[in-house]
Amino acid sequence: MSSSSSEKPMRQQVEEYIVSLQESIVSGFEKIDPNAPKFKRDSWIRAQGGRGQSCVFAMPDPSSPAGKANTHTSVLEKGGVNISIVHGLLPPAAIKQMRADHSSIPFDPEKETSLPFFAAGLSLVIHPRNPNAPTVHANYRYFEITEPLKEGDTGQGKVMAWWFGGGCDLTPSYFFEEDAKHFHSVLKAGCDQHGADLYPAFKKWCDEYFYLPHRQEARGIGGIFFDDLSDEPHKHLPSGSSAPRPKTPSELFAFIKTMGDSFGPSYFPILTKRMSLPYDDHMRRWQLVRRGRYVEFNLVYDRGTKFGLMTPGARIESILMSLPEVARWEYMTEMGSEEGTEEWKLIQVLKTPREWA
């Protein structure tokens, strides 16, 4: 699919962009900490169709020979910037789930037919070592479903349904208001280039999505979250608004590129400001407790994780890359409950979303 006959197919445009974005982001992290090991670049092929590259940062285990020889304390403790470009047949169960947001997808429950799909995206999660530096998550993706090819046909079937999704959010262990304002202001500026309604809607959606009901708190201080963006009416965007919004494939792809290009300016200044601040064992303990909450959300609620695990030929290591290397669960922890402490200040922000930009 493309917005004009002279353009490359949208799937090709997205593939080329996420490949370049991955290299740009990984290079940015490597420049911040030039003495640390490089990200491990792990290319893979999906047997059912497609490919990807996982760029993962991890220091060697301290008990290993390489770990014992290491003398550098890295800025990052664990991180991954992954891309996947996959295609194949979408099983009936996944199609049925998607039809809740895309009624245009043809589906006959009696025939239980699989449909060809293409999906491409970049997903990243960065867990810094210093408790003052926040964890960050971002993803930018494209999905399309095509008509099944008739026997003897070759190439690609007609696109029947397509959409873009993504987002970027910040999860601190210790709260710095200036960081929250900077992060959100960069995201808002990017959204505003494409429509005045986007940032308010996607910021609210992020606050609602990255929420742990059993804890009654948000996972972090939010950002933006969006999914199922196409030319169809969208339940998260005001239908009667006079403000223009991107609807065509080219318009939505331009929005995705703006947000992808905004990642570095939104996060790198925060990381460089916080990565060398002093911290103690108490702060490290709280960081690990907060990482435990991060794990709870990703494994219990995140629909991207769930969809990845149910996709045939799923690459489990890449899907679970988002989990921190170390986390902590304390029974009835007292941390965060004592009024006036830095930990308590964070909890107040997590329980009551605020406007930052």
- Residue 137: active-site member: yes
> Which tokens in the block code for residue 187?
């995201």
Question: Which of the residues 102, 127, 137, 182 is marked catalytic?
Answer: 137
- Between CA 296 and CA 327 the distance in angstroms is 11
Produce one character per residue of 304-339: b if its CB has 16 or more CB atoms within 10 Å, e if not.
bbebbeebeebbeebbebbbbeebbeeeeeebbeee
Decide: 328 and 303 in contact? Cβ < 8 Å.
Answer: no
Q: Tell me whether residue 279 is exposed, middle or buried, using C-beta atoms within 10 angstroms of its C-beta: 0 to 12, 13 to 18, 19 or more.
A: middle
The SS3 of residue 9 is: coil
Report which secondary-structure segment, H or E, holds 249.
helix 249-261
- Between CA 37 and CA 46 the distance in angstroms is 27
> Which tokens in the block code for residue 134?
């926040």
What are the strands, taking DSSP E only, across the chain? 40-45, 50-58, 76-90, 115-128, 135-146, 159-171, 211-212, 217-218, 222-229
Q: List 42's β-bridge partners, or say none.
A: 54
Which residue numbers are catalytic? Answer: 137
